[in-house]
């Protein structure tokens, strides 16, 4: 029954109570039916006993007729008188005797004796004919119908039983009213109804209380689980002190809460660890940056100092070059005053002058490079290489000048 999965617990308990009430009602109705059946059976047995008594009376009279002690007409007349005296239930119960032709032989109403009742209708039914036909067919008949009881305004249910009298072409029977059975059965039915209602009310109340004891804690647990999902871990778990299935569910939810609290603690610890690691990394980066800045500043200062020294060297070399140029000029003058045979020396002096000019140009270039080294520390290495190369050329020029000077002295 998958549809039960979609019903709330209160509805399921209501269905249970309803089914219980239906069962009780069905059991009550069945009990009432069986009780009514037993009472009818007892009443039928009563009618059978009374009719059997009258029939035995007729059989006894018939034996006297057969014995020649009385005539058949006298026996029938005696049987009619005796049958009229057989009454019960304060006169409401009596015997009736009819011939198979429908002629009344015995009845409490003397006016009906000798009349034909086959076609007389009572509440739309020809009772005498139905009784005669039943007896003719089976020898006996039981008939249920409604008949007016003396002193009542409405017809009442009645039960009649009749049997054939052998040899007389007659049947004898009696009828009993069933209103007393209804009177006896009605209090029992009412008691069953009251008991069913009371049991239903009590069952409904108990089912309601049980339903509330289930649905309310479940609703609270559901709301608490939702709050746990929303991250609210401060509130307690309802129903954790119970010892039933709801208590077990509450214990499970408590486990979820404890795990959530533990996870939140771990998350906080992890966040704190990340913050500490970030702070440590930042401090380390700051330290590295500071150390790198100090190192770079030291390197820049060192390069600047080296560049300044190289600038000084270059200036000194410039001065030396100027001195060499002056000496070269002096050598030129001396050479002019020398003999014309030293033309070769003059040409060498002119070449020396060109070399000196080249040296001056290179010295100026060295000064510019040194200035750039001071302004741009990042190009220091390249500038140093250039200056070093210039210095080497300057050394070669100086050596050449010394060589020329020596030759000039020789000349």
Judge whether 13 lies within some domain.
yes
Considering the domain architecture, whether residues 315 and 180 belong to the same structural domain is answered as no
Looking at 200, 226, 258, which one is the last position of a domain? Answer: 200
Band of pLDDT at residue 342, cut at 50, 70 and 90: very low
Considering the domain architecture, whether residues 313 and 169 belong to the same structural domain is answered as no
Considering the domain architecture, whether residues 40 and 184 belong to the same structural domain is answered as yes
pLDDT at 288 over 90: no
pLDDT tens column, 127-160: 999 999 999 999 999 999 988 877 777 888 899 9
pLDDT at 345 over 50: no
From CA 266, how far away is CA 260, in angstroms rounded?
Answer: 10
Judge whether 395 lies within some domain.
yes
Token readout for 49 is 């006993």
Considering the domain architecture, whether residues 31 and 165 belong to the same structural domain is answered as yes
Judge whether 133 lies within some domain.
yes
The domain of 331 spans 302-410
- Token pair 């001071």 in the structure block, residue: 374
pLDDT at 338 over 50: no
DSSP string for residues in 106-166? E-S-GGGTT-B-TT--BTTB-HHHHHHHHHHHHSEEEEEEEEEPTT-SSEEEEEEEEEEET
Judge whether 284 lies within some domain.
no
Looking at 200, 227, 242, which one is the last position of a domain? Answer: 200
Judge whether 214 lies within some domain.
no
Judge whether 265 lies within some domain.
no
From CA 327, how far away is CA 347, in angstroms rounded?
Answer: 16
CATH number, domain of 45, equals 3.30.450.20
Which pLDDT belongs to residue 299?
A: 66
pLDDT at 240 over 80: no
Among 166-175, 214-223, 233-242, the range with the most confident prediction by mean pLDDT is 166-175
Token readout for 4 is 């039960």
- Token pair 């000077």 in the structure block, residue: 405
How many separate domains does the chain show? 2
Number of residues assigned to the chain: 411
Token readout for 39 is 């009472």
The per-type count for the chain, helices as H runs and strands as E runs, is 7, 5
- Token pair 């300044």 in the structure block, residue: 308
Judge whether 178 lies within some domain.
yes
The predicted model gives 269-290 an average pLDDT of 87
pLDDT tens column, 14-57: 888 888 888 888 888 888 888 888 888 888 998 999 999 999 99
Judge whether 48 lies within some domain.
yes
Least confident window among 150-154, 208-212, 330-334: 330-334
Which pLDDT belongs to residue 130?
A: 94
pLDDT tens column, 91-122: 778 899 999 999 999 998 889 999 999 999 88
Listed residue (345, 363, 350, 347) closest to 411, CA to CA:
345
pLDDT at 276 over 60: yes
58 or 179, higher pLDDT: 58
Considering the domain architecture, whether residues 41 and 170 belong to the same structural domain is answered as yes
Mean of the per-residue pLDDT values of the chain: 80
CB of 238 within 8 A of CB of 220? yes
Looking at 200, 233, 258, which one is the last position of a domain? Answer: 200
CB of 28 within 8 A of CB of 192? yes
pLDDT exceeding 70 applies to what percent of the chain? 75
Which pLDDT belongs to residue 250?
A: 82
What's the whole-model pTM score?
0.48
């Amino acid at each position: 029954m998958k549809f039960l999965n979609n019903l709330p617990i209160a509805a399921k308990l209501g269905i249970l109570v309803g089914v219980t009430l239906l069962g009780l009602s069905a059991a009550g109705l069945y009990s009432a039916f069986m009780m009514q059946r037993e009472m009818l059976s007892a009443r039928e047995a009563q009618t059978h006993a009374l009719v059997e008594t009258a029939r035995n009376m007729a059989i006894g009279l018939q034996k006297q007729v057969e014995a020649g002690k009385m005539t058949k007409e006298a026996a029938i007349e005696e049987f009619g008188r005796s049958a009229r005296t057989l009454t019960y239930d304060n006169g409401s119960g009596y015997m009736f005797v009819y011939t198979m032709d429908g002629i009344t032989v015995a009845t409490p109403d003397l006016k009906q004796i000798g009349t034909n009742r086959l076609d007389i209708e009572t509440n739309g039914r020809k009772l005498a004919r139905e009784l005669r036909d039943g007896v003719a067919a089976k020898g006996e008949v039981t008939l249920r119908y409604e008949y007016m009881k003396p002193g009542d305004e409405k017809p009442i249910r009645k039960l009649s039983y009749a049997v054939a009298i052998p040899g007389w072409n007659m049947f004898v029977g009696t009828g009993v009213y069933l209103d007393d059975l209804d009177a006896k059965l009605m209090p029992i039915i009412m008691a069953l109804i009251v008991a069913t209602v009371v049991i239903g009310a009590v069952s409904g109340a108990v089912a309601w209380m049980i339903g509330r004891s289930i649905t309310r804690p479940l609703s609270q647990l559901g709301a608490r689980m939702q709050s746990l999902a929303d991250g609210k871990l401060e509130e307690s778990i309802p129903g954790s002190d119970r010892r039933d299935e709801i208590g077990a569910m509450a214990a499970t939810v408590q486990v979820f809460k404890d795990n959530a609290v533990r996870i939140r603690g771990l998350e906080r610890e992890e966040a704190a660890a990340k913050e500490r690691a970030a702070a440590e990394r930042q401090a380390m980066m700051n330290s590295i940056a500071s150390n790198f800045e100090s190192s770079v500043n030291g390197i820049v200062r060192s390069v600047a100092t080296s560049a300044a020294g190289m600038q000084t060297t270059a200036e000194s070399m410039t001065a030396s070059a100027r001195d060499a140029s002056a000496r070269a000029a002096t050598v030129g003058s001396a050479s002019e005053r020398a003999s014309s045979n030293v033309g070769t020396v003059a040409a060498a002096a002119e070449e020396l002058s060109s070399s000196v000019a080249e040296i001056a140009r290179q010295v100026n270039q060295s000064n510019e490079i040194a200035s750039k080294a001071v302004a741009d520390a990042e190009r220091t290495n390249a500038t140093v290489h250039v200056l070093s190369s210039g210095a080497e050329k300057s050394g070669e020029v100086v050596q050449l000048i010394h060589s020329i000077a020596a030759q000039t002295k020789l000349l």
